[in-house]
Amino acid sequence: MVTAASTADSSAAQPLIGVLALQGDVREHQKVLSACGARTRRVRTAGDLADIDALVIPGGESTTMSKLAVDFGVIEPLRTARAAGLPMYGSCAGMIMLADRLEGGRPDQQTIGGIDMVVRRNAFGRQIDSFEADIAMDQLDGPPVKAVFIRAPWVDSVGPGVDVLGRVESDPEHAGPAGRIVAVRQGSLLATSFHPELTGDHRIHEYFVAMVRDAG
């Protein structure tokens, strides 16, 4: 028999995590989330947001994602869900979507916002299209994360309520990115400049799923 209590238990154990599926590497995030014990749903419309426990915003192209979010009428519902406390994790273009302020955005580019930070689009890409670095993250057990950056943003600055989770370490060959902030958390919002869904290291997604369980 399924009781209310057991239903609540199973949704805490196996949260339903939406993946914004307007554009970008949706399937890769779904695979990793499933491996972390979550159920997933593709989110394209306001209706798809009903009942989800959290949302992942994938990498892709933030100007296109922004335009589609406006065209699909989902940008305001996303802002409302975020303001109501829905946990969200944004990777790369997804980080851009969670930024309160952008450098290098298009004039008409919309974000969901929520993280008090300035994100600089294509920050790595001006010098190098793709870049890999080990990022030490105290919140994760084990070795540093091998981070893959693809035409990635970085975070220029954060407000007082934002925890910096990871920075690019000093590297004499790549002075530009050295010290730059590439992973942040503000309350129930998490963002990385890099793409953990592409490396087989599930620790960032596990960390997010644990955030979602805690919030539930």
Q: Does 121 bind ligand GLN (CB under 6 A)?
A: yes
* 170 vs 38: CA distance, rounded Å: 36
The region of 6-14, 78-86, 145-153, 159-167 touching ligand GLN under the rule CB under 6 A is 145-153
| DSSP letter assigned to residue 198 | G
Q: Is 36 a catalytic residue?
A: no
Q: Does 20 bind ligand GLN (CB under 6 A)?
A: no
- Greatest Cα-to-Cα distance within the chain, rounded to the nearest angstrom: 62
Q: Of 83, 53, 61, 44, give the one whose Cα is nearest residue 186.
A: 83
Of 62, 111, 186, 192, the one binding ligand GLN by CB under 6 A: 62
Q: 204 vs 34, 37, 159, 192, CA distance in Å?
A: 13, 14, 22, 9
- What 3-state class would DSSP assign to 170? coil
Q: Does 61 bind ligand GLN (CB under 6 A)?
A: yes
Count the neighbouring beta carbons within 10 Å of the beta carbon of residue 77: 19
The region of 43-51, 147-155, 161-169, 176-184 touching ligand GLN under the rule CB under 6 A is 147-155
In angstroms, what is the minimal distance from the CB of 182 to ligand GLN? 13
Q: Does 60 bind ligand GLN (CB under 6 A)?
A: yes
Annotated active-site positions, please? Answer: 92, 195, 197
Residues that bind ligand GLN (CB under 6 A): 59-62, 92-93, 96, 121-122, 150-152
